[in-house]
Amino acid sequence: MFDSSSPSQSVKLVDMLSLIVARLERLDELTEEINQLAKRHVEYGVKDKHYEYVGAALIWTLHQALRNEWSAELEAAWIKCYTILADTMITAAKE
């Protein structure tokens, strides 16, 4: 779907999630950036269901990487963070 490599896409996803985590209390500051990102994803052919797949892969990867530090609380926080991003992008893509 994307012109760049998978490692490049992984870095972009982590960068965006890091930005969201850093601004959880001020997400409105990111609205325009997220909307533009969503519109680019429409051009790549990304569908709503793809966000679910990426979210599941993200949570699985974090669980594998953080094995001993992983907890139900941490999982819930990451799911919430990713859901905010995915829901915002899905909504923006439909506009």
CATH number belonging to domain 6-93: 1.10.490.10
Domains in the chain: boundaries: 6-93
Q: What is the pLDDT of residues 19-46, one digit of tens each?
A: 877 887 887 888 888 888 899 889 889 9
Q: CA quadruple 88, 90, 45, 42: dihedral positive or negative?
A: negative
Burial classification of residue 18, based on how many CB atoms lie within 10 Å of its CB (0-12 exposed, 13-18 middle, 19 or more buried): exposed
List the pLDDT tens digit at each of the 95 positions of the chain.
Answer: 555 556 777 787 788 778 877 887 887 888 888 888 899 889 889 999 999 999 999 899 999 999 999 999 999 988 988 898 899 999 999 98
Contacts of 85 (CB under 8 A, 6+ apart): 16, 17, 20, 34
Q: What is the pTM of this model?
A: 0.76
